[in-house]
Amino acid sequence: MDLALLDQTLTDLGQPAFRARQVWGWTARGAADYEAMTNLPVALRSELASRVPLSTLTLQDEAHASDGTVKALFATADGRPVEAVLMRYRDGRRSLCLSSQSGCPLTCSFCATGSMKFGRNLSASEILDQALHFRRMTDVDHCVFMGMGEPMMNLDAVLAACARLPDLGITHRRTAISTVGWIPGIERLTEEPMPIRLALSLHAPEDALRSELMPVNDRYPLADVLAACHAHHERKRRRVFVEYVMLAGVNDRYEQAVELARILDPLVFKVNLIPYNPTGGPYDGSSRGAIAAFKDALEAHGVRATVRLKRGRDIDAACGQLAARAAPA
């Protein structure tokens, strides 16, 4: 819902200020339409229905995986593709993976979004509308900004969306922003009062390989990024989650695990190893055995590590695959 348009429309209609809060309250709890908003006058409901669309996004396609994962492809009003995913876990967690941009200006060599054309930053309403789409389906309680785009390059809109997520049932502590290591954004999140989790996409334990995988490393090299994460931890007292995509023969060797453990302070970082989802590029994912060995090596050197569960594989909803079929409309 375009919240600025809602405010303007209510003002134009001479409505009191509390109406916007009423409409948002219903919307955040998953109301399917204005008709459901029973504490609004009937005439106002139909007026709003014709003037303020329930979503800024149009659903183009939706895929349901056998494990309960749902991937939605939307189009913005100006025809940009946006994808978001709902993951349902066996422990009951309902987690959203949201996009912050249509496409991505960064060009990580293993990422599908990085190879598509960058569109633009999404507005806070366009970000919230991804979440609201799933909120109309189910309760939700976790959110990660690990869809399309670099959230730190659109941080105003991302934080404005985050500020409203608790109304949907997602607390700040259960919200994570994932970054390539965009230092100005990390620094801003450090100053931000909302206790949102920082996640860092690392993928390599040294600069040469990291720059090959993530050209942004030339601008914000490893040591500077890690220092920004230390400052973040110092202030927020919350561990930074490191994402490490496992690429066969590229970053999954024993010595690389040892080097990774050497550069990561276990009091500051926790590692999440991500099985790679091939996207048609030059890389293969590490085998399960290689991932397990890498995890063991990290833990033997004192760094806690988990292996990310794969969700939604049969619908190409897994990490980094969101752009796979999202051709610009």
Catalytic residues: 83, 319
* Of residues 10-29, those binding ligand SAH (CB under 6 A): none
- Measured from the CB atom, the residue of 6 and 273 that comes closer to ligand SAH is 273
Nearer to ligand SAH, 55 or 113 (CB): 113
Stretch of residues binding ligand SAH (CB under 6 A), selected from 23-31, 174-182, 252-260, 288-296: 174-182
179 binds ligand SAH (CB under 6 A): yes
Q: Helix (H, G, I), strand (E, B), or coil: what is residue 61?
A: strand
Q: Does 150 bind ligand SAH (CB under 6 A)?
A: yes
User: In degrees rounded to 5, what are phi and psi of residue 114?
Assistant: -60, -25
Separation CA 5–CA 257 (nearest Å): 51
CB 67 within 8 A of CB 55: no
**Does 250 sit near ligand SAH (CB under 6 A)?**
no
Query: How many residues lie near ligand SAH (CB under 6 A)?
Result: 17
Q: Shortest Cβ distance from residue 254 to ligand SAH (Å)?
A: 21
Q: Is 83 in the site for ligand SAH (CB under 6 A)?
A: no
111 binds ligand SAH (CB under 6 A): yes
Q: Which residue is nearest to ligand SAH (CB)?
A: 320
Return d(Cα 69, Cα 10) in angstroms, integer.
37
How many CB atoms within 10 Å of residue 88? 18
Per CB under 6 A, the list member of 103, 119, 312, 320 interacting with ligand SAH is 320
Strand boundaries in 112-183, DSSP class E = 120-121, 142-145, 175-179
By CB under 6 A, residue 217 contacts ligand SAH: no
Stretch near ligand SAH under the rule CB under 6 A, chosen from 4-12, 14-22, 229-237, 272-280 = 272-280
In three-state form (DSSP H/G/I as H, E/B as E, the rest C), the secondary structure along 157-176 is: HHHHHHHHHHHHCCCHHHEE
How far apart CA 304 and CA 291 sit, in angstroms, is 14
Tell the smallest beta-carbon distance from residue 276 to ligand SAH (Å): 5
What does each C-alpha distance from 18 to 7, 25, 53, 70 come to in angstroms?
10, 11, 19, 34
- Given 180, 204, 222, 323, the residue binding ligand SAH (CB under 6 A): 180
Map tokens 């509390």 to a residue. Answer: 18
- Confirm if 119 and 81 have CB atoms less than 8 A apart: yes
Q: Which of 69, 154, 251, 277 binds ligand SAH (CB under 6 A)?
A: 277
Instruction: Return the number of the residue (130 or 178) whose C-beta is nearest ligand SAH.
Output: 178
How many angstroms separate the CA atoms of 248 and 291, rounded?
9
Residues near ligand SAH (CB under 6 A): 110-111, 146, 150, 178-180, 201, 243, 245, 274, 276-277, 279, 319-321
